[in-house]
Amino acid sequence: MRSTRVLNALTFVPALLVALALLAGAAPAHAWSAWGHGVVGAVADDALTPEARAEVRRLLDGRPLAAVGAWADRVRRDRPGTGPLHYMNGPVDRVVPRRADFEVPQGNVYTAILGYAERLADTSLPRETRAEALKFLVHFIGDLHQPLHCGFLEDRGGNTVPVIVDGERSNLHRYWDHDVLATAMAEYRPVAFARALDARIRPAERHAWRTSLDPVDWILEARAYLFIGLYPPTDDGVPELDAQYRATWQPVAERQLARAGLRLAAMLNALYADGASPFDSPPVALPEP
């Protein structure tokens, strides 16, 4: 699989950083809030093949992906073993995580996506187990695309980085979960925003995102934002995340939602077309169902 090659030789990172820098210049954590996870699910719903859509509806008792995007957050307290699966930590001094960062014994969002895709494809497992795997996948692919869920252990993915938002003290992670998309959340329901977002995706982007089926690539893409301005300057104390910060980063957050939804759909389309996960097996075991 391509992920093995990427872990061994990540030669494309400089070009990726340049591209992301141009984009940014133009424009206990629960990533994206329930609204954001609903958007990811709704984008994916509209991009499923008929075969994949039928299988998804069968497993979810007729519900769409948008309806289950926040499920993994709701069960997190009762299933503490899934807590580490919502994020992945990498080094503070380099975009590319070390191999050991991908393979932590407790698991992380990378191993979760690989493991639950494998579990979803295994038709020998009970229907309930595969339905849960699908709901976890919807959520974790969304989580991975929130840049601070691919962040730094030292600040707990931005949770210990103080910021001021609308005159009140908050933290950087909370801002990215909720405030960076606040104007869209106030104007749209998730499904309506997903349709508006989908209409803005250029054909070349759509093709690229739907053919990118390597979670390692997704992690590097998300982490690159941490090094090109997502962390605000702290020279004058606690920074205020003002309208200028939002104007720069809201389009990036929206773009990440679109990427997550299209990649989720592409993964499910491939899985149901081939009868197997499109990913490698996970390097560590998942929590028991």
Residues serving a catalytic function are 32, 37, 73, 76, 86, 139, 143, 149, 173, 177
* Interatomic CA distance for residues 197 and 212, integer angstroms: 19
Give the Cα separation of 221 and 225 in Å (integer). Answer: 7
Alpha-carbon gap, residue 71 to 114, rounded angstroms: 19
What's the burial of 17, exposed, middle or buried (CB within 10 Å: 0-12/13-18/19+)? middle
Complete DSSP assignment for 187-202? H--HHHHHHHHHHT--
Q: Cα torsion at 140, 46, 221, 25 (round to 10°)?
A: -130
- What phi and psi values does residue 216 have, to the nearest 5 degrees? -65, -45
Tokens read off for 77: 């307290």
Contact 72, 81 (CB under 8 A): no
Residues 44, 47, 51, 54, CA torsion sign: positive
